[in-house]
Amino acid sequence: MGNRYIIGLGNYARGDDSIGLRVIEHIIDHNLDDDFKAVEIGNDGLRLMNYFESDTDKIVLVDCALIDQESGEYMTFDIKELNTRKHVDGFSTHEGDILKVAEMARNMQFPIPPMSEALLISQFAG
């Protein structure tokens, strides 16, 4: 069996945007990462490319987003079914889009592991 990762994204300084990081902290603190590695990559989505390796079997992402759900609710989805609506001028570590990172990695011939699931937790409005 290859490597399996659950990766939390977010920013501690932006309140509810840190939920992906806090989920990963909880997993690590309670030793819940038996058959996968729990990883925090903060708000630098480009770091996700470090896990695009031929021996990676699966990546599950945990992040916060503005979605059509009540604050604090969540949804899971298949990344292949998602299209980005986010406008990004260029690319930086502070303004990223995971779908654009995956597209860039594909264009650079990185082996893209299955990222069939993502958990998005709805941001608080306001």
Predicted local distance difference test score (pLDDT) of residue 89 = 54
Q: Which residues of 54-82 are buried (b: 16+ CB within 10 A; e: fewer)?
A: eebeebbbbbbbeeeeeeeeeeeeebeee
Predicted local distance difference test score (pLDDT) of residue 92 = 46
Predicted local distance difference test score (pLDDT) of residue 80 = 61
Task: Write out the two tokens for 19.
Answer: 């939920």
Identify whether the C-beta of residue 123 lies closer than 8 Å to the C-beta of residue 70: no
Domain boundaries, the chain: 3-122
Predicted local distance difference test score (pLDDT) of residue 123 = 59
Residues of the chain with pLDDT below 70 are 16, 67, 78-97, 115-126
pTM for the model stands at 0.76
Q: Are strands 3-9 and 56-65 parallel, antiparallel or unpaired?
A: parallel
CATH code 3.40.50.1450 for 3-122: yes
Predicted confidence (pLDDT) per residue in 48-75, tens digit: 889 988 899 988 888 877 767 777 777 7
Q: One-letter amino acid identity for 111?
A: P
Tell me the DSSP string of 60-74.
EEEEEE--SS-TT-E
What phi and psi, each to the nearest 5 degrees, are found at residue 65? -155, 160
Angle at the Cα of 115 from the Cα atoms of 113 and 118, rounded to 5 degrees: 160
